[in-house]
Amino acid sequence: MFERVIKDKIDLSVVGDYIPERQFGFKKGNSTVHALLKFHTDVIQNLRERRCTVAVSLDIEKAFDKAYHDGILVKMVNIGFDPSLIKLFRSFFNDRKFCVQLGNEVSRFGSVLCGVPQGSVLAPHLYNIFTRFSS
């Protein structure tokens, strides 16, 4: 519930649209079907105008795991996030731990140095911020 409240706060506090128009993933009301329809429409239009179509598809392995915490925070500052939200996210990222269990064995705790929590309501928004803006 808390994460949903923060997500709504992000949506209200961000200066401008931080998700590119042509991005369909992690965007409310869009899906891969929308991306395919847009691509199809563009290809047909370009064929009619005797223009070529170039497509680049990018699939980043373990993408959510690669989002650099300090990079996300710097980009939040650049976007114009409210300082209290930036402070909250600094705390959200700080001192996160993990361990691995295999059968009855449990590893020691390690520090999470980057990545956004998968399954979190905030993860797609944080990843979009990480990939969208230059520092």
The 10s digit of each residue's pLDDT in 14-49 is 645 666 677 777 677 777 788 889 999 999 999 999
Number of Cβ within a 10 Å radius of residue 101: 8
pLDDT at position 57 over 90: no
Cβ-in-10-Å burial (0-12, 13-18, 19+) of 121 comes to: middle
Query: Residues 62-100: pLDDT tens digits?
Result: 878 888 899 999 988 888 888 998 999 999 899 889 999
Q: How close are the terminal C-alpha atoms of the chain, in Å?
A: 30
Size of the chain, expressed as the number of residues it contains: 135
Q: Are 60 and 127 in contact (CB under 8 A)?
A: no
d(CA 26, CA 125): 7
CA distances from 21 to 17, 51, 112, 124 (A): 9, 22, 32, 16
For the record, the structure tokens of 93 come out as 């990222």
Q: Are 10 and 126 in contact (CB under 8 A)?
A: no
- pTM (predicted TM-score): 0.69
